[in-house]
Amino acid sequence: MSMHFDFIDLFAGCGGLSLGLEQAGFSPILVNEIVPQFAETYRLNRNLDNSSVFVGDICELNNDIATAKSKFENVTLVCGGPPCQGFSMANRQRIIDDPRNMLYKEYLKFLCAIRPAFFIMENVRGMQSRWDEIESDFNTYLNQERHTYNFTGKLLLAEDFGVPQHRERFIVIGNRLGIAPEVIFDKIFSLKRTPFVLRDALYGLPSLGIKAEKGRNDVEDDNSGYTQIDFSYPVTDFYHFINGDRKLSVLYNHKNRYNNPRDVEIYSRLPQGGNSLHPSIADIMPYSRRNGIFKDKYFKLQEDRICKTITSHMRYDCNMYIHPWYSRGLSPREAARIQTFPDDFILYGAQNSWYAQIGNAVPVKLAHAIGTAIVSFL
């Protein structure tokens, strides 16, 4: 019988980090997310009751931290990726003193109160350059009275763990069990594998045509795509990688978006790997005077390589994520596959929100590797 360990996810988004941890043997007991649509996606994919999902600001949790402390004092893991905009090397202000990084401080306050056996903080690559400050901040909050927590941070690449995407995340892992954090990272690195490529993630999904009407997200057909439709998946190595041995028969969130005729023409002309500077679109490129700045305003993805980083910008347009085979951008389901979400993970809310949820997520299989490593020490 497999063991399960409790965890709390702060700034959870739609739950990419959580899902990987769950696949490794963890179970969520409290989830915090401020965006209602993101929180709804998280909850409905797990059948959690409303009391387990706190939709609101982490500051509100910390205002009632005594209650949280008594309820969750034996939790195994707390994880989260607090938004942190003020970490730039050009910014001479300390990270924790920058008002833009208030949520980083609130995350530390929560850790200090709950004091889990393990914690994970994930963030952008830029935080690596401010490690001395981060180390000092964690020691101030967690090791002020005595040295209880051992922790360190490393840069992890999602593609090193099979994810068909270039995505860098700075991961801080700590524990109060006396385990050297370097040993935990060594275990994570031992789980590296050859990445899949974009072709693997896209293979077999319906092609979709050109969506004819702007603003008609209610249309469900072979051009506009489908929110939900019965579907027979081709069973491939990638299918097993994201879905295991489960036999799934429904396709979710495979919706096209409207593109104006000029963009459709650009999509059709560009070769794979072509961007805004490519001569094939010189006569219709709308940003020709600023091409040097916006050279990747348009980019057609390459099927035999890993994908560029999936971001929440896709909620505005997919010009930087042109499908390698068709004259359209990636669908939310295709983006979710590139982030290694399983095919039965359903995105809720508006279609633009689906892109934001996926773009903000931690790749599931990167999180799975982190969780698997931590579980090996429990």
Q: Which residues are catalytic?
A: 84
Strand 150-157 versus strand 168-175 pairing type: antiparallel
| CA-to-CA dists, residue 204 to 35, 196, 248, 324, 342, angstroms | 33, 15, 14, 14, 15
d(CA 363, CA 338): 8
Strand 5-10 versus strand 26-33 pairing type: parallel
Residue type, 43: R
Q: Are 55 and 48 in contact (CB under 8 A)?
A: no
| CA-to-CA dists, residue 236 to 64, 168, 215, 216, angstroms | 48, 26, 35, 34
